[in-house]
Amino acid sequence: MAKSDKGKKSVSRRQFLTTTLKTACSVGIMGVGLGFYTQRANALPPLAIRPPGALPEEDFLGACIRCGLCARDCPFDILFLGQLGDDIPAGSPYFIARTGPCEMCEDIPCVAACPTNALDHSLTDIEKSRMGLAVVVDQENCIAFQGLRCEVCFNVCPIRGKAITLDMQHNVRSGKHALFIPVVHSDACTGCGLCEKACILEKAAIKVFPTDLAKGELGHHYRFGWKEKEKAGKALVTPDVKHQYNLPAGVRYDLQGKGLIIDSKIDESLPDSPFSTNPLDTLNRKPEDK
């Protein structure tokens, strides 16, 4: 009796181990699958912009519990949650600047509503938020580049005159007009997208992109000579030897400035000059004079 009990027990232990191992393996495979799916599913399309104060995307996906409270507390109802089937991680909040930009509420209700700090509560000044960066992506279609007065993006910008400035340039086409080129400054642009919404084109020429997509990055070894000079307070290389030019008397050359300079006070009555200053004298010379 005791023996058969023992036998029964070992069978059930074997069964237990097999079941456990099977389960563990299948769940493990499921985990690997989920991991790969996550990598794919977590790629955010560039036109989907996270709300103000959102942590960097990787941290955000660990912090956002997909409760939608930010979307509920947005007074302009611009925030959507990613749906299953979208390219946006399911349930995570985003807005599309062209159809519904962030209106930059001073009290930032979306951040206040976030229970997990996925929208960073240390953000108290909406002008310090960096949802993305506006970029004048299409200089061929932006009518400012054609010399037309538009400036709509400049005028709707909530940080007017700082995030977008107008850069006056010469209009080569007409030769006598100016171009007022919109230029975005990353030190002030919040990426709210009001400019993209307001752009008068069929498709916006200025678009908000995620900051890391919009910004380039200088090689870390790179140094600008003039900045280094300013920092050091003196030239860091041996100064150039003064250039010498063999030029006629009364003519000078300014290398980094005006170029060739002919002094107006050239002595016109120099006796040993073979030429008269009046070209007609040369033309009217008689053959015997040669």
Partner 1 sequence: MANMPQDVGKEAIQTKGWIGAHKWLILRRISQLGILAAFVAGPWFGLWIVKGNLASSLTLDTLPLTDPHILLQAMISGVTPETTAIVGAIIVLVFYALVGGRVYCSWVCPVNMVTDAAAWLRRKLGIRGSSHASRSTRYWVLALTLILPLITGGIVWELVNPVSIMFRGIVFSMGLAWVLILAIFLFDLLVSRDGWCGHYCPVGAFYSLLSNRAVVRVAATNREACDDCMDCFNVCPEPQVIKPALKGAPKGIGPVIVANQCTNCGRCIDVCAVNVFQFGNRYSNQSSSGLHSAKAYSKHTV
**Site residues, partner 1 (CB under 8 A):** 19-20, 22-24, 26-28, 30-31, 34-35, 37-39, 41-42, 58-59, 61-69, 71-73, 80-81, 83-86, 89-91, 113-118, 121
Minimum CB distance to partner 1 smaller for 38 or for 276: 38
How near is the Cβ of 21 to partner 1 at its closest, in Å? 11
How near is the Cβ of 31 to partner 1 at its closest, in Å? 5
Minimum CB distance to partner 1 smaller for 38 or for 284: 38
Minimum CB distance to partner 1 smaller for 79 or for 192: 79
Name the token pair of 139: 């200089």
Minimum CB distance to partner 1 smaller for 86 or for 138: 86
Instruction: Say if residues 59 and 53 touch (Cβ distance below 8 Å).
Output: no
In single-letter form, the type of residue at position 228 comes to E
Does residue 53 come out as left (phi exceeding 0), alpha (psi in the -120 to 50 range) or beta? left
Instruction: Say if residues 185 and 163 touch (Cβ distance below 8 Å).
Output: yes
How near is the Cβ of 41 to partner 1 at its closest, in Å? 5
Secondary structure of residue 96 in the 3-state scheme: strand
Q: What is the largest CA-CA distance in the chain?
A: 151
How near is the Cβ of 22 to partner 1 at its closest, in Å? 8
Instruction: Say if residues 92 and 61 touch (Cβ distance below 8 Å).
Output: yes
How near is the Cβ of 156 to partner 1 at its closest, in Å? 29
Instruction: Say if residues 61 and 89 touch (Cβ distance below 8 Å).
Output: yes
Minimum CB distance to partner 1 smaller for 7 or for 31: 31
